A = this chain, B = another copy of it.
């Protein structure tokens, strides 16, 4: 599988990142090819794994998930087994929508969403703090998000 991206591929990726629901016909117009090779390129991008998946983005307020936070979590020891215990527990909590292992002594950044502050507190106390290997948790509540781009730049 050839992963080399030309200018047209990058344009396709740019467009599909910002609007996944564009029709192939419209996409082909915007990149200046006919529908057939356009579709071929898109399929190639999908099959090669460059495009991993397609997702609907929801309005958190409108679905009643008004509280979003970042949580910085430290473990009691950042050995492999503790990390595995942590990962497994985190994966079961659907309100934890992201979990990243970051530099700094074995620490993690989580993104958590909740209905309101009360349910957030409950969630953290009952589900996250409760994970045996968790040492410290530090929450930052997101007051507002003024950039949340789903479009990543693609280097040449």
Query: Which A residues lie at the B interface, using CB under 8 A?
Result: 3, 5, 13, 16-21, 48-60, 62-65, 68, 70, 87, 90-91, 94-104, 107, 109, 113, 115, 140-155
B residues less than 8 Å from A59 (CB atoms): 49-52
16 contacts between A and B (CB under 8 A): A13-B63, A16-B56, A18-B53, A19-B55, A20-B21, A20-B56, A48-B62, A52-B57, A54-B56, A64-B154, A70-B70, A94-B152, A96-B149, A97-B152, A102-B142, A113-B153
Residue of B nearest to A94 (CB): B153
Q: Beyond A94-B153, A98-B147, A155-B115, is A141–B50 a contact (Cβ under 8 Å)?
A: no
User: How far, in angstroms, from A49 to B58 measured CA to CA in the complex?
Assistant: 8
Q: Judging by beta carbons under 8 Å apart, are A63 and B87 in contact?
A: no
Given A5-B63, A52-B58, A54-B55, the answer on whether A143 and B20 have CB atoms closer than 8 Å is: no
On chain B, the residues within 8 Å of A16 by CB distance are: 55-56
Total identical chains: 2
Given contacts A5-B63, A65-B155, contact A54 B97 (CB under 8 A): no
From B56, B109, B115, B152, A140 is in contact (CB under 8 Å) with B109
Given A62-B49, A65-B155, A70-B109, residue A101 in contact with residue B57 (CB < 8 A) = no
Least Cβ–Cβ distance between A12 and chain B, in angstroms: 9
Which of B5, B99, B140 interacts with A146 by CB under 8 Å? B99
Whether the pair B13, A56 counts as a contact (CB closer than 8 A) is yes
* Contact pick for A150, options B17, B19, B49, B55, CB 8 Å: B55
